[in-house]
Amino acid sequence: MDPAALAIQGRLALRFLHLIGQYGVYLALVLLLIVGALITPNLFEKETLAVMFRQCAQLGIIAIGQTMVMLVAGLDLSVGGVIVMTSVVVAEVSNGRDEMIPLAVVTALILGMLIGLGNGLLITKRKVPPLVATLVMLFLVQGAQQAFTRGVPSGFVPEAMGIVNKSWGFLSIPFLLWLGLNGVFLLILRGTPYGRKVYATGSNPEAARLTGVPVNLIKISVYVLASGLAVISGVVLTGYVGYVDRFIATGLDLDSIAAAVVGGTAFFGGRGGLMGTIAGVLIIQILSTMVVLIGLDIQTQFIIKGLVILAAVSLYSLAHK
């Protein structure tokens, strides 16, 4: 073949790869749905969908925050601790009384955002790598929670919290909340100056600074938002479970990172976004649900998640060469 034709082929291949990088995850989602429909048609039954969507919401709300943190080349491992903290605070402050719920939630939000502030300050002012910074904050939060409850959570979760789980068919409040929050944050990230600054900070912090972007402030704000979202997710979870459970958030932190990664958000920042994360969350949850429906050991979901992460990252790596 003559070199000109080869060059054109090469360019087409690059464009194709690039498209895969941008839209591949949606394609994967669609393919997965098709496969799901064929292999496990009861995937689309009302009850299954209801459960799955609720789980999507639990994971998805945190994933929003995690995505934003990753967009500025960071990581937040403290979200699990924030969720448990929320549970504890809600139970303590409200002590079973419905009318105290708003106060309880607000208290949890304030505490959560303080935690996020702590993360942000450690990372920007003390230059601690995000992995280490959010990890030690997690220890601190878990330690504080243990000390406070002395192992036995006190207080009760008010009944009214259960409204968080009101559902109609397969739609439920958590699910709608998730969609709503996604909408809000999508709008913020794509359609406001703040969102632009977030992407700029992640894409090239030095250039951002030289263009007048308050890089440190943006980073801190992102961590605060991530913790705030974790509190919201905690509220939803607590309402669903109905009591304080120390292990309520197990695995959600890592899963949120996985969802973002599968959705195309890169660890080094500046690339990716919420649309991809939504698809990532859906893919992960659908796979987990299918695992159960097919009758496989529920623990195989971990293996599948790991493989999906590897596959996704390899494809993205190829796409951006």
Per CB under 8 A, which of residues 260..279 are in contact with another protein? 261, 267-271
Closer residue to another protein (CB): 34 or 184: 184
Closer residue to another protein (CB): 4 or 126: 126
Closer residue to another protein (CB): 163 or 311: 311
Cα 237 from Cα 41, distance rounded (Å): 28
Q: What is the DSSP string of 70-94?
A: HHTT-----HHHHHHHHHHHHHHHH
DSSP 8-state class, residue 126: S
Closer residue to another protein (CB): 180 or 214: 214
Which span (50-58, 88-96, 126-134, 238-246) binds another protein, by CB under 8 A?
Answer: 126-134
Judged by CB under 8 A, does residue 129 bind another protein? Answer: yes
Closer residue to another protein (CB): 106 or 250: 250
CB of 288 to another protein, least distance (A): 11
Cα 93 from Cα 148, distance rounded (Å): 13
3-62: which residues touch another protein (CB under 8 A)? none
Given 36, 65, 112, 130, the residue binding another protein (CB under 8 A) = 130
Which span (25-33, 58-66, 166-174, 209-217) binds another protein, by CB under 8 A?
Answer: 209-217
Cα 85 from Cα 102, distance rounded (Å): 16
Amino acid at 130: P
83 to 122: interface string for another protein, x by CB under 8 A = -----------------------------------x---x
212-231: which residues touch another protein (CB under 8 A)? 212-215, 219
- CA–chain centroid gap for 270, Å, is 17
138-197: which residues touch another protein (CB under 8 A)? 139-144, 146-147, 149-151, 187, 191-193, 196-197
Given 38, 127, 168, 169, the residue binding another protein (CB under 8 A) = 127
Cα 319 from Cα 321, distance rounded (Å): 6
- CA–chain centroid gap for 304, Å, is 18
Query: Is 64 in contact with 274 (CB distance < 8 Å)?
Result: yes
Task: Give the C-alpha distances (Å, rounded to integers) separating 149 from 35, 118, 146, 232, 237.
Answer: 46, 22, 5, 21, 19
